[in-house]
A and B are shown apart, each in its own frame.
Chain A
Amino acid sequence: MGNQDVVSAAAAGAAFVVRDCALVALATGRKARLLQEFRSELAAIDAASIYHHFWGGLLQPRFAEREYNNDFAAWVRHGIHDAVLAERLAALHPSRFADLETLRQEIIELVDARLDEVEHLFWTRASQQFEFICSQIVVFDTAQQLQQPADLAAAIAGLSPSSIFYHFIDARRRTPAGEDDFSFWLGTFGAEYAPLCQQLAGVDPYFGSLKELRDELAGLFAAYFQEARQ
């Protein structure tokens, strides 16, 4: 569902169309062994690669309980062995930035500041090179539709982790106000579900696996609609 589809479907008060997605990674050919090289490559790399290294990895083969939530921080810690910069990079929350360009500038700023602080980082060669990766995402229909908000309570637990990614994380790049698809859809029913949307806004998808996120959302919807029935 593209941006326009979301808007028009919502305006018509239509059902929530459950979609799913699959991601495949691509090499960009850009690599870095030195922090300075990393900075140069980062400045020029397609924004899609920055997105991949913050979010796309959730759909990639990798361990869910990661030490760092973005690949840049992990590389600085385990490749460059600089814990200070790794912590600063790890603290970046991508959804707190207006767009990927602003996020890119902040990363560059942090790297520059660290290079000013510690001169040897100019020539410290990483024990593992950083490979910039990007990805292609294919979005497809699941043939499942939800007619009423209360249907969310039963449906969420049955969605695939990648469907959760699509509707709760990827949606922020598609919806007009940068919100998740569930909140966007609930908003079309007027103010009735505003408290539920507030609860959804409090769910941080940045930590943990997609399955954990699904469980959290399922619990939230179930509790809300059970309370509403009582």
Chain B
Amino acid sequence: MSLLEAYAQVAGEDVIAQLQQLAAPLAGARAVHVNSTRSGGGVAEILTKLVPLMQELGIETEWEVIHGEGDFFECTKGMHNTLQGNRTPLGDHLLRAYEQTNEENAQRLRPTLEAADFVFIHDPQPAPLLKLCPRRKGKWIWRCHIDASHPFRPVWKYLRQFVVPYDASIFSLAAFAQELPHPQYLIPPSIDPLSDKNKTLSDAEVESVRARHGLDAERPLLVQVSRFDRFKDPIGVIEAYQLAKQFIPGLQLVLAGGGAADDPEGEVVLREVEAAGRDDEDIHILMLPSDAHVEINALQRAADIVLQKSVREGFGLTVTEALWKGKPVIGGDVGGIRLQVIDHHTGFLVNTPEGAALRIRYLLHQPESMRAMGEKAREFVRENFLITRHLREYLTLMVALRHGAQERIELGQG
């Protein structure tokens, strides 16, 4: 079965037919995606499927990865954090490593990039490549996957010089867009329904994960999946659980996350969370490796309600994942969660642990409402946040860039 056929089974035949029609005028075009890693992280996850899908649609698509050493990645990690608001200047030696690494990669990638009709540069790591490809002939697009709504200005000012000459940029939400002299497209992220993180699991697979972590299938379960980070408010989640447990004694809570080992602040938050949950054996704090996709999938499916009680959030793909699994989500009233959690339809937006506790109690006392919300949630994601929609918007953007800035582009009749 081709990938397109596999996606047609999940997203619908009409969705795939539309992709084929939209891609027809792009047949034979050469596109290249460039990022900084082949595996791990959301960007690689998306490209793993987006690239073969584009190939199946007749677009000659390649995926290139830039290589770098310690200082380069220290610099780009710093850029990532500062674009999200951390106010830590980057040292000159790191910026030199950043530019030097891009020059080295340009030596290798220049022929491919200069010959391409479309070049998608993902995130800040490879952004300087455009300036290093003076004989480029195609359209270059900078895709920013980061919540850059409140960047640390000195770092953004430095990065901006590399981004300005692009033909277009893409941001996930309007609030993340920056002042730039080219079109800024808005394309929300998506989930891959066929990935380990989202594929359908058997009851036995879910049960085995439940058993591994000592979870009782007969009692209600709340799950929050996210890094141990203050912005995700894990302590607030425990408070909400404790307030709700006074009325629902059998309640269980899983806080599942990872990545604290190499993150000093993450370790501090994890210790605080462990201390807050120490006296309650129904609170399960799970540190999972970054490739525990099936386990996360099973935990989300085992949950009655998924929480994402963030106090600051980019888009919140963990919310999308939970909605796709037919779970109502109680989420913080921030960022992209607002686009996904619709009060009384797909879950509830809350601002406090008290608000979250109230909604937990409401949902657990209204199983029929919870089931109806879950169904609506899954359809909402099917319509709006699968990778097929993401791809459709990429194709639309590619066609649009070939035709200039006009509001309406009429492709010739076949």
Residues of A in contact with B (beta carbons under 8 Å apart): 1-2, 5, 17, 20, 22-27, 29, 48, 61-65, 128-129, 131, 133-143, 158, 160, 162
Contact = CB atoms under 8 A, between A and B. Distances in A.
B14 interface: yes
Q: Which 5 A/B pairs are nearest by Cβ-Cβ distance?
A: A131-B174, A61-B384, A27-B177, A25-B186, A27-B184
A140 B22 contact: yes
Contacts of A48: 407
B14 A160 contact: yes
Given A20-B21, A133-B174, A139 B186 contact: no
A143 B414 contact: yes
Contacts of A27: 171, 174, 177, 184-186
Contacts of A137: 407-409
A136 B396 contact: yes
B18 interface: yes
B22 A138 contact: yes
Which of A61, A65, A128, A133: most chain B CB closer than 10 A? A61
A139 to B, nearest CB: 5
B342 A63 contact: yes
Nearest to B343: A67
A25 B393 CA distance: 9
B21 A138 contact: no
A20 B411 CA distance: 10
B359 interface: no
Contacts of B175: 129, 131
B57 to A, nearest CB: 13
B407 A141 contact: no
Nearest to B180: A29
Given A133-B174, A136-B400, A24 B187 contact: yes
B266 interface: no
Contact of A62 (B17, B177, B384, B397): B384
A135 B405 CA distance: 10
Given A24-B187, A25-B185, A136-B409, A141 B345 contact: no
Contacts of A22: 18, 22, 392-393, 395-396
A212 to B, nearest CB: 12
Contact of B409 (A20, A62, A63, A138): A138
B410 A160 contact: no
B410 A139 contact: yes
A161 to B, nearest CB: 9
Nearest to B346: A63
A23 B22 CA distance: 11
A138 B393 CA distance: 10
A133 B396 contact: no
Given A25-B187, A27-B185, A48-B407, 10 more contacts: A25-B174, A25-B186, A64-B380, A136-B400, A136-B405, A136-B407, A138-B399, A138-B400, A138-B403, A140-B21
Contacts of B342: 63, 65
Contact of A29 (B17, B184, B188, B406): B184
B339 A141 contact: no
A59 B410 CA distance: 17
18 contacts: A17-B413, A22-B393, A23-B396, A26-B184, A26-B185, A27-B174, A61-B384, A63-B380, A65-B342, A65-B345, A129-B175, A131-B174, A131-B175, A133-B174, A138-B400, A138-B409, A140-B25, A141-B414
B138 to A, nearest CB: 18
A143 B414 CA distance: 6
B142 to A, nearest CB: 14
B409 A24 contact: no
Given A27-B174, A62-B384, A139 B411 contact: yes
A5 B399 CA distance: 21
B378 interface: no
A62 B339 contact: yes
B174 to A, nearest CB: 4
B24 to A, nearest CB: 8
A61 B188 contact: yes
A170 to B, nearest CB: 9
B383 interface: yes
Contacts of A134: 407
Nearest to B174: A131
B325 interface: no
Most buried by B among A25, A136, A143: A136
